[in-house]
Amino acid sequence: MSIRSGAEPPAPDASLADEGGAYSHKGLTYPLGRRAPAAGEVIELAPGLQWARLPVPGSLKHVNIWLFDDGQGVAIVDTGLDIPPCREAWESLISGAIAGRPVTRIIVTHFHPAHLGLAGWLAERFDAPLWMTRGEWLFGRLLASDVRDAPPREAIAYWRSAGWDEARIEEEAAKGWGRFASVVSPIPVSFVRMEDGNRLTIGARTWRVLVGNGHCPEHACLIDDEAGLMIAGDQVLPRITSNVSLSLSEPEADPLGDWLASIEKLKALPDTLLVLPSHGEPFTGLHARLDALAFGHCDRLDALHAKLEEPRRAVDCFATLFARQIDDSMLGLATGEALAHLRRLEVEGRAVRESKDGVHWYRAG
């Protein structure tokens, strides 16, 4: 795969640059600088398009949401977690920025709780329809309904296969199963399906749906080709890389292969788009960021392949893949990501998997 380097991003719009202190870093330009909306406030990015932020616990700290002028009302893109701080932030928006205006539709880019969490709450409150891709709606409904006292046997086998020790498996199993539902309000049983290539007329704008894969089954991005805007969700983030994990539900899939293919698909978009990500600030320089994401994964695949001269489990690969120490709070995400890289090597024919006592060992193929 070719990796572009040294590409200069397009110049930011002058009015945004003056107001926000634009700067460039690693091939990306941030037209608003580090300016971001405070809780309960909005920033107008273009006529009929506003940016708001909701709090997220932990290192992410926030999720960006987008408010579209939709005629007499407001269309919402992404909703935040179903936790008190997010509900409080929404109450401030409802009594402030969008006061007196009905919500016409709730668009969710993908099923992860920071995006889907309050969709049901908002849908019920405003009697508004939920818009999602089918794969994301189905996955969200599945996870929200699967609440048990103990994990399924497949989860135990998944953890064991990755190399977790029995004490860690027992500790995780004691937490029960179904934490997804604890931060997601009841998901509507009906939805409006979005598909790749659909065009959504929202107010005076037309948004084209582009579906990406790898981070989740059918992630919806929205492109306003005329205005040069892209609601990117988690499919393209400016500073951090989205988690790409081999999931328990589809252990023979190739999510990293899907992710890399989606990067190539996104490269067909204009490099001049103003990208509006779910985390971080709006930026330009889409192709430079896509190249960096692809290079990062391909570089780690090569490094991991070199380490497989001796058989290794997924947990033995953390030091090669991650630049941080993996503690218990990150173990699940790190395990999924390591398995995704190992599975990609397996699909490429560069790794062979062997099982012994339920543990998967990988060696160079």
Q: What percent of the chain has a predicted confidence (pLDDT) above 90?
A: 91
* H helix or E strand, kind and range, residue 306: helix 286-307
What distance in Å separates the CA atoms of residue 294 and residue 1, rounded to the nearest whole number? 8
117, 186 contact by CB (below 8 A):
no
User: Could you tell me if 259 and 213 are in contact, meaning their C-beta atoms sit under 8 angstroms apart?
Assistant: yes
How much is the pLDDT for 276? 98
Task: Dump pLDDT digits (tens) for 141-155.
Answer: 999 999 999 999 999
Tokens of 148: 């048990």
- Residue 334 pLDDT more than 70? yes
Please count the other Cβ atoms lying within 10 Å of the Cβ belonging to residue 341: 26
pLDDT tens readout for residues 246-259: 999 999 999 999 99
Query: How far is Cα 86 from Cα 114, in angstroms, rounded to an integer?
Result: 10
* Cβ proximity of 69 and 203 under 8 Å: yes
| 336's tokens | 């999924």
What DSSP character marks residue 179?
Answer: G
Burial-class residue 178 by CB neighbours within 10 Å (0-12, 13-18, 19+): middle
Residue with tokens 């960021």: 289
Q: Give the pLDDT confidence score for residue 20 in this predicted structure.
A: 54
According to the CATH classification, is domain 14-306 in 1.10.3720.10? no
Q: What sign does the CA torsion over 68, 73, 77, 83 have? A: positive
Tokens 């009015």 sit on residue: 15
Residue 52 dihedral angles phi and psi, to the nearest 5°: -130, 165
The set of residues, in sequence order, having a beta carbon less than 8 Å from that of 38 and lying 6+ positions away, is: 53
Mean pLDDT over 22-49 rounds to 95
* 199: enclosing H helix or E strand: strand 199-202
What mean pLDDT is reported for the chain? 93
The reported pLDDT for the residue numbered 12 is: 37
- DSSP class of residue 330 equals G
Q: At what angle do helices 286-307 and 331-348 cross, to 10 degrees?
A: 80
- pLDDT computed for residue 323 by the predictor: 87
The pLDDT value recorded for residue 39 is: 85
Please return the burial class of 268, using the count of CB atoms within 10 Å of its CB with bins 0-12, 13-18 and 19+: exposed
Phi-psi region of 159 (alpha: psi -120 to 50; beta: other; left: phi over 0): alpha
CA 261, CA 201: separation in Å to the nearest integer?
Answer: 28
Q: Are strands 103-107 and 73-77 parallel, antiparallel or unpaired?
A: parallel
Tens of pLDDT, residue by residue over 286-327, are 999 999 999 999 999 999 999 999 999 999 999 999 988 999
* pLDDT more than 70, % of the chain: 95
Mean pLDDT of the 262-272 span = 98
